[in-house]
Structure formats: structure tokens, C-alpha cells
Structure 1
Amino acid sequence: MKKSKTYDIVTIAIVAALYVILTMTPGLSAISYGPIQFRVSEMLNFTAFFNKKYIIAVTIGCMISNFLSFTWVDVIVGGLSTLVFLSLGVLLFDRFKEDYFWNGQLNKAFFFFAIFFSISMFTIALELKFVAETPFLLTWGTLALGEFASLFIGAFIMDKLGKRVDLSR
């Protein structure tokens, strides 16, 4: 059966909404912003490995989350950073999607992406240096560690979910 554009729009909206919910829910929102953060919603980055349309979904979710809680600068910087580095990450690491570490427990594409995307947090560290006057290297380090932790945990969850739910549609 052929998919419709309506289906794509709805699934993009659902993933974007899930990103916002996982970022803004009380309790989770407390750890989702600032120089030290752990965004549970970042695990949704891995949906882009199942279908590239989710690059837009995650970018929109990130931009809405940033709009609701920080500044317009974060909407632009965070949104563009997500769009660029998520797209690049999928382009670079998609070829490892069928390969695993640890006897099939950790998807190689997801692991490599987690490292890559964590390094990309320099963009947010630069933003925070100018907007909130935080020290760049320390902020980059804490952002990268938080990003890696959330993506590393999310890699296991999204890989298992992707085996049970058809995320490629």
C-alpha cells in the first residue's frame, strides 16, 4: 500500500510532539536545559536511521522545546545544529546500521552517531558562552557527556523498539 503525504505529516508531528513531551515534562525539563543537560528526548534522533523524514521531526521538536524554555537564539542554534548534525550523522553512519557490538546488544551506527553528535555540542557550548557567559570548554564537556549518556542509553531503547515497531514507515 502506498503511503500518503498525510501519513508522513502525521508521523512527523507525532515524533516532534514526543520530543517536546520528553523534554518538557516536569522532572525531565529540569535536566533538559543549560550547561549540564540530559535530554531523554534525544533518543528520538535514532528514528532518523529508520526513516530520514524523522530528521525534520526531531528538528521541529527540538526547536519547539527550545522556544518554550530558553531563547530565540537557542531555537535557531539548537534547531540548525540538530538539522545539520543529525543529517550528517545519518549520512555518515547509516551504513553500520546492521552491525553490532557486544553480541548484538549495541548498534554500531547508533554508537558512532552518539559519539559524533556529542562532539557536535560545541555549537550549543558556543551559544551558551555568548548568551549565558558560561566557560566554553567546561560547558562543551558537560554538554557532550550528557548528550552521550542520553544517546547511549537511548541507543539500546530505540534499537529494541525498532525491532518491534516498524519505524521505517
Structure 2
Amino acid sequence: MNNFKNQTVSKTFSLTLTAVVAALYAAITMLVAPIGFGPVQLRLSEGLNHLSAWNKRYVLALGLGVLIANMISPLGWIDWVFGTLGTVIMTGITYLLTKKIDRPLVKIFISTVVVLTIGMAILAAEFTFAFAIHAHGNFAPDHATSSWLANWLSYYVSLVPGEFVSLVVGGIVIYALSKVVDLKK
């Protein structure tokens, strides 16, 4: 009987943490909404992506947070689907690459590399796709007559600086948090 109670408490705790992180991601994104969308963005909530290096629950939490935040995206359904999917992919890869690593700074470094490469590549592809189909709210690059690759590259290059700043700020916060809280639990 006591084991059943412990399992229920553990599941409730995990579900609560998932909901809190999802809500925190969405709230921070909406707080900076004017600069949290588009090919040049500073979405500070992206710093929470580092959490996926500690526990797989945060892959789901961040995916839900992105889905909720992207409900106000100028790209609409494209951002709901591809933004959420991109987040689940990059945080899932981060979790898989870091699950046997114990050093917080190494986890944060790997997370940063994954997000800046895979995550921003997916987001640049999303913007390129939205531009190609003339989606409402798309962000046209300056060289609209260029190839898909040139458009993708222009989005990628414009996304990385803001994402890097968000990851550095988030990395500092998550590193400090990892020193006082067991993020694996």
C-alpha cells in the first residue's frame, strides 16, 4: 500500500514539474512576444532547453511550452506544428546525448551545441517553408529571389545570435539551479 502511495506521489510530482516548466516557457515567451518571434528573435525562454539534459520529462515540458507559446505566433499552424516538433527533436537529442554525463557544464555545452545546430536548422527550415508557400505572417528575406538554400542560410544566420544569448543566460540560471536542486529527479 505504501509503495502505491509513493508511486502516485512521484507521478504527481513529475506531472506538476512538467506543467510548471511548460507554463514558465510559455509565460516568458509571451512576456517578450514582440521580440520572441521572427527570424531575428530573443526568446529568453529558450534558455530552459538546457533542462532536457537532466530529465526526459523536460522534453515533453518544453514541447508543450513551445506549443502554448506559439499559439500567438504570426506563422500560426506552421509554428504550432514545426516549432513544437523541432523543440521535441532537439531536446530529445540533447537528453540522449547527455543522459550518462554528470558534469553540469558539459551538459550545458552539449545542449547549446545541439540547439544552435539542429534546433536553429529546423527553425530556419520552418521559416524557409513558410516563405515558400507565402504563409500569412511569414518573414521574407531580403533576397526573395534567391534559392531555398540561400533563404535557409539567411534565416539560420539571423536566428543564431539571439538564440546564443538566450542559451547563455539560461545556462547560467540552470547551472546555478543544478547546484542546489537535483534536476534529475
TM tier, smaller: 0.7 to 0.9
- Are residue 45 (structure 1) and residue 49 (structure 2) matched? yes
Q: How many matched pairs?
A: 160
Q: Distance in 2 between matches of 1:168 and 1:123?
A: 27
Give the equivalent residue in structure 1 for 2:110: 112
Higher Cα radius of gyration: 2
Q: TM-score, normalised by structure 2?
A: 0.79
Give the equivalent residue in structure 1 for 2:3: none
Q: Percent identical across equivalent pairs?
A: 33
- Are residue 6 (structure 1) and residue 12 (structure 2) matched? yes
**Contact between 1:59 and 1:79, CA under 8 Å: does it hold in 2?**
yes
Shift of 1:165: 2.7
AA matched with 2:80: V
Which of 27, 49, 63 pairs up with 1:21? 27
The alignment partner of 1:119 has SS state of: helix
AA matched with 2:29: T
Q: TM-score, normalised by structure 1?
A: 0.86
Shift of 1:84: 1.0
**Contact between 1:51 and 1:168, CA under 8 Å: does it hold in 2?**
yes
AA matched with 1:157: V
Q: Distance in 2 between matches of 1:125 and 1:49?
A: 23
Structure 1 gaps of 5+ residues are 100-106
User: What root-mean-square deviation, in Å, do the aligned CA atoms of Structure 1 and Structure 2 show?
Assistant: 1.7
Give the equivalent residue in structure 1 for 2:84: 79
- Are residue 138 (structure 1) and residue 154 (structure 2) matched? yes
**Contact between 1:115 and 1:148, CA under 8 Å: does it hold in 2?**
no
Indicate how the Cα distance of structure 1 residues 95 and 142 shifts in structure 2: closer, same or farther if over 3 A, else same.
farther
Shift of 1:16: 0.3
The alignment partner of 1:142 has SS state of: helix
